[in-house]
């Protein structure tokens, strides 16, 4: 199942090329960013994984800003996914291919949890009781499945369709058709490249970080 998630990561940035204004400069910058993040991973793998998780929260927050006009709900999702000991075990299992020492992985997950907890406290202080109840409900819903299943469902059912709907140059193209194309590429990557996925986690992490940075600064 973790390979399913990693294959999602590879295919998720497939349509970033549609945002390129210059067919030479933009791809070159994209590739150089992947290369530099890969070098950074060699030196500070734990910090790179922490940055990946933290930037993913920010990246996903745009979905909630778009759907419910409150990006902070993403912290409720992640807090629900990081709350119990069993969920910690799932996260360690998910990140095992990084080959980072387990104590460092625990520290990464704990740090993300504390960030989400701090945001939750600030949310409860600054929002209405109704909004706080919604926040708590999201935390509870996030705990219904294990973190791996929840993230895969979120990527496949929520994040990917929303990302496709925001693509440039596609106002007259059926979003569902683009989604089917992406899922086809995703399945091909999963079938053909599962052994490569296991052996190239640093590259996959670099691609994911480049994709997120691209959309954060775009």
Confidence of residue 107 (pLDDT cuts 50, 70, 90): very high
Contact 5, 151 (CB under 8 A): yes
Q: pTM here?
A: 0.83
pLDDT confidence of residue 3: 63
Contact 95, 105 (CB under 8 A): yes
Instruction: Please determine, for residue 36, whether its predicted confidence score (pLDDT) is greater than 90.
Output: yes
Confidence of residue 149 (pLDDT cuts 50, 70, 90): confident
pLDDT confidence of residue 10: 65
When mean pLDDT is compared over 44-53, 65-74, 178-187, the highest value belongs to: 44-53
What mean pLDDT comes out for the span 193-204? 70
Q: List, for residues 137-146, the tens digit of each pLDDT value.
A: 988 888 877 7
Rounded distance between C-alpha atoms, residue 151 and residue 159, angstroms: 10
pLDDT confidence of residue 112: 92
Rounded distance between C-alpha atoms, residue 157 and residue 165, angstroms: 13
Confidence of residue 41 (pLDDT cuts 50, 70, 90): very high
More confidently predicted of 82 and 18 = 82
Total number of domains constituting the chain: 1
Rounded distance between C-alpha atoms, residue 164 and residue 151, angstroms: 18
Confidence of residue 45 (pLDDT cuts 50, 70, 90): very high
Query: Domain of 138?
Result: 2-217
């Amino acid at each position: 199942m973790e390979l399913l998630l990693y294959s999602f990561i590879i295919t998720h940035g497939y349509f970033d090329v549609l945002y390129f204004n210059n067919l030479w400069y933009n791809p070159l910058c994209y590739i150089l960013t992947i290369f530099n993040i890969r070098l950074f991973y060699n030196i500070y793998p734990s910090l790179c994984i922490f940055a990946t998780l933290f930037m993913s929260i920010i990246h996903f927050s745009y979905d909630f800003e778009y759907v419910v006009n409150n990006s902070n709900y993403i912290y409720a999702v992640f807090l629900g996914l990081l709350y119990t000991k069993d969920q910690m075990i799932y996260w360690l299992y998910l990140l095992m291919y990084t080959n980072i020492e387990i104590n460092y992985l625990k520290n990464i997950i704990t740090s993300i949890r504390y960030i989400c907890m701090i945001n939750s406290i600030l949310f409860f202080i600054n929002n209405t009781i109704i909004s706080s109840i919604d926040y708590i409900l999201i935390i509870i819903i996030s705990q219904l499945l294990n973190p791996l299943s929840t993230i895969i469902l979120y990527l496949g059912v929520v994040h990917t369709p929303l990302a496709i709907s925001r693509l440039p140059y596609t106002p007259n193209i059926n979003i569902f058709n683009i989604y089917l194309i992406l899922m086809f590429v995703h399945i091909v990557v999963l079938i053909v490249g599962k052994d490569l996925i296991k052996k190239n986690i640093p590259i996959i992490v670099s691609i994911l970080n480049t994709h997120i940075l691209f959309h954060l600064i775009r």
